[in-house]
Amino acid sequence: MDDDAHRRHAELGFDEASWEERYRIAPALWSGRANPQLVTEAADLPPGRALDAGSGEGGDALWLAGRGWQVTAADFSTVALARAAAAAERLDPGAAGRVEWVHADLTRWTPPAGAFDLVSAQYFHLPAADRDPVFARLAAAVAPGGSLLVVGHVASELHTGMPEMFFTAQQVAATLDPGVWDVVVCEDRARTASGPAGHELPVADTVLRAVRRR
């Protein structure tokens, strides 16, 4: 992205039109690779049905499908979904056939209850008022024995101007009924990321993985 696109990107909000514009003004927003915490947490899970909430350009969905998962990838950006579907067809047509790309606003859409062996939300930062109800619907979509994986950014130099959109793994864990869920990961993990100028920056992810008992 050039400097103008970066400035424009930073000025945009987080509603559907803003995300659409954010994707439209850049040829690619994300690396296309699977997110590191998804790889860490899901690499050893037996493939089943997965929901990727806020699937963006589809790197996670395609990675899961490449490992045999049947994936529902949901996002409200039509640009991102089209880009993801095209990339999937180009990179791995076999796996692409295991992904259903769904245009949905997750503040309104209720995924089918108990239908997924993995529900993953990677850097799916919502306005604070939407977060608990949306995450509750995502949790309800997990099948017995399945995993809920919620990964967020811990605020850093890369993320300014949206403090109310951050959450911690502990906050998400506190919303889960302990009679239903085993929280198996609830922590922050440090890593490095490429900053806008291409230099490496220390960042951290907040990671919640919980397994539904019943």
| Closer residue to ligand SAM (CB): 13 or 68 | 13
Question: Using a CB cutoff of 8 Å and minimum separation of 24, what contacts does 45-49 make?
Answer: 45/117, 45/118, 45/147, 46/117, 48/116, 48/117, 48/118, 48/143, 48/146, 49/115, 49/116, 49/117, 49/118, 49/143
| Closer residue to ligand SAM (CB): 180 or 201 | 201
Among 80, 142, 172, 208, indicate the residue that binds ligand SAM (CB under 6 A). Answer: 80
Of 120-159, binders to ligand SAM (CB under 6 A) are 122-124, 126
Closest separation between CB of residue 4 and ligand SAM, Å?
21
Q: How many residues bind ligand SAM (CB under 6 A)?
A: 18
Q: Which residues contact 11 (CB under 8 A, 6 or more apart)?
A: none
The beta strand positions in 16-170, using DSSP E, are 49-53, 70-75, 99-103, 116-122, 142-154
Among 63, 69, 76, 181, indicate the residue that binds ligand SAM (CB under 6 A). Answer: 76
According to the binding rule CB under 6 A, does residue 54 interact with ligand SAM?
A: yes
Is the four-CA dihedral 195, 106, 208, 62 of positive or negative sign? negative
Query: In the stretch 87-126, what mask flags binding to ligand SAM with x, by CB under 6 A?
Result: ------------------xxx--------------xxx-x
According to the binding rule CB under 6 A, does residue 166 interact with ligand SAM?
A: no
According to the binding rule CB under 6 A, does residue 169 interact with ligand SAM?
A: no
According to the binding rule CB under 6 A, does residue 77 interact with ligand SAM?
A: yes
Helices (H) and strands (E) in the chain, counts: 8, 7
Among 30, 63, 116, 135, indicate the residue that binds ligand SAM (CB under 6 A). Answer: 30
Percent of the chain that is helix, strand, coil (3-state, to 5): 35, 30, 35
Site for ligand SAM, rule CB under 6 A: 19, 30, 35, 54-56, 59, 75-77, 80, 105-107, 122-124, 126
